[in-house]
Amino acid sequence: SQAEINHPFMLKLPLLVTVEPNRRLCPLGKSCGHISVPYANTNVDYQPHVLKTKNSKRTYAIGSSIVRTHVGKGGNNHVRTLFVEEANRFLQNGTKALGGLPTAIAGVNLILDNQPNGFLSESERNQLELYRSSIFCPILRGDTPGQKRFFDVLLSGCIPVVLEYSSNEPGYPSYYERNMASTRVVYPFAKGIFHDMPDMGIDYQKLVVGIDGNCGVQCIFPTLEDMLLNQQNRIAEIQEEIERVASLFAYGMGNNTFQYVDTLAAALVQIRHHILTMFPSALPPQNMTTEM
């Protein structure tokens, strides 16, 4: 929980590995010993050795899973409520498809006449199947900046659609709220988090479709429709980038542990980078070679 991560004892630790960022903001270009890792997905289809993000037979233009209790007028539910209203308006206007493909919203009662599987169950199995069958998956604000479904969507090869704001760090957006924590400190192994290596790490802006937060959810449908009709090359580029890095969000388990380039391997690289930053003398002599 955020309370545990931000406990004074935790903030003093020289090395901390968590699934959520803490309040100890690390200066840009420095290594402060806080390693963010993705939420774990233990589904067998998301093991690194069988992970398949490419799927040429995606049924839906948009696949979104919103739990009923997350729809309401207060707090963080407001954006999701607006998205549901926009989806209702979009469907009621007689448009049954986006770029020639149907849309599917799971977990909320929308008007989805004549749309296959328009209303799906809320089980994790069906959620993941929905993600695997969709080109775009809106990831709307939750209780905290990091969300498990963001990584589930990437592992499924679906393109996350996020509302993008200016953050508290120039050059790095926030997918949560204006002037809040940036992608650099929220998401694992992100570009800008490695000491004196500004180009090292994952550039999350290449993995998502960012919607201007000032425009909000009403811009989601027209933006995605334009991409489907006029920007197929851009969609393909994002999908290829997701395929390139997706295994870094998967946890090899059982016989797959430490056998593939996965979350644990990426975390060890970042931990090693941090230790060598703190203790440069630990670097091997230049005339020595090491094998990984």
DSSP code string of 63-95: EEE--GGG-SSSTTHHHHHHHHHHHHHHHHTT-
Residue 28 makes CB contacts below 8 A (sequence gap 6+) with 169, 184, 192
Each residue's pLDDT tens digit, 114-153: 444 444 445 677 888 889 999 999 998 877 788 899 999 9
pTM across the whole model: 0.83
> Cα(174)–Cα(177) distance, rounded to whole angstroms?
6
Q: What pLDDT score was predicted for residue 112?
A: 38
Each residue's pLDDT tens digit, 42-97: 888 899 888 877 776 788 899 887 654 444 455 567 788 888 888 878 766 555 67
Which of these, 143, 174, 156, lies nearest to 64 by C-alpha position? 156
> Cα(68)–Cα(252) distance, rounded to whole angstroms?
32
Query: Is the pLDDT reported for residue 168 higher than 70?
Result: yes
Residue 266 near residue 54 (C-beta atoms within 8 A): no
Each residue's pLDDT tens digit, 232-244: 999 999 999 999 9
Which of these, 144, 184, 140, lies nearest to 164 by C-alpha position? 140
Phi, then psi, of 13 in degrees rounded to 5: -65, 140
Query: What is the band of 263 on the pLDDT scale with cuts at 50, 70, 90?
Result: very high
